[in-house]
A and B are shown apart, each in its own frame.
Chain A
Amino acid sequence: MKEVLLEIRNLQTHFKTDEGEARAVNGVDLKVPKGETLGLVGESGCGKSVTALSIMRLVPEPPGRIIGGEIIFDGQDILKLREAEMRRMRGNTLSMIFQEPMTAMNPVYRIGSQMAEVIQLHQKVSKKEAMDRALDMLHKVGIPDPKQRLREYPHQISGGMRQRVLIAMALSSHPKMVIADEPTTALDVTIQAQILDLMNQLKEEMGTSNLLITHDLGVIFEMAQWVAVMYAGKIVEYAAVSDLFSQPLHPYTTGLMNSIPQIDQPVPKDKMLRSIPGMVPSLFDLLEGCTFQDRCNHVFDRCRREEPGLADLGSGHMVRCWLHG
Chain B
Amino acid sequence: MAQRNTDSLGYKFQLFMKNKLALVGLLILVLISILVFFGPSLSSYDAFSVDFSVKLRAPSSTHLFGTDNYGRDLMSRIFSGARYTLLAAVVSVVIGLTFGAPLGLISGYFGRKVDLIIMRIVDILLAFPPLILAMAIVSGLGPSLVNAAVAIGISYIPIFARMARSRAIHVKRMDYVESAIALGSSRVRIILTDVLPNSMTPLIVQATVYTGYGILWVASLSFIGLGAKLPIPEWGLMIAEGRKYIISGEWWLTVFPGLFIMLGVTGFTLIGDGIREVTNPKLRLK
Contacts and interface: CB of A to CB of B under 8 A. Distances in A.
A18 B1 contact: no
How would you classify the secondary structure of chain B's contact residues: helix, strand, loop or mixed? Answer: loop
A63 interface: yes
Contacts of A19: 4, 6
B286 interface: yes
B281 to A, nearest CB: 9
A17 B1 CA distance: 15
A282 B286 CA distance: 19
Contacts of B285: 17-18, 63
Interface in A1-40: 16-19
B189 interface: no
Contacts of B3: 282
How would you classify the secondary structure of chain A's contact residues: helix, strand, loop or mixed? Answer: loop
Contacts of A63: 285-286
Interface residues of B, number: 8
Interface in B261-286: 284-286
Contacts of B15: 18
Counting contact residues on chain A (CB < 8 A from B), the size range is under 10
A262 B14 CA distance: 51
A278 to B, nearest CB: 15
B20 to A, nearest CB: 15
A17 B15 CA distance: 13
A62 interface: yes
Contact of B1 (A16, A62, A285): A285
A221 interface: no
A19 B286 CA distance: 11
A314 to B, nearest CB: 38
Contacts of A285: 1
B8 to A, nearest CB: 14
B284 A282 contact: no
Contacts of B1: 282, 284-285
A16 B4 contact: no
Interface string A266-286: 000000000000000010110
A279 to B, nearest CB: 10
A62 B285 CA distance: 9
Given A18-B15, A62-B286, 16 more contacts: A16-B286, A17-B284, A17-B285, A17-B286, A18-B6, A18-B284, A18-B285, A18-B286, A19-B4, A19-B6, A63-B285, A63-B286, A282-B1, A282-B3, A284-B1, A285-B1
Interface of B: 1, 3-4, 6, 15, 284-286
Q: A-B pairs with the 8 shortest C-beta distances?
A: A285-B1, A282-B1, A63-B285, A18-B284, A284-B1, A17-B285, A19-B4, A63-B286
13 contacts: A16-B286, A17-B285, A18-B285, A18-B286, A19-B4, A19-B6, A62-B286, A63-B285, A63-B286, A282-B1, A282-B3, A284-B1, A285-B1
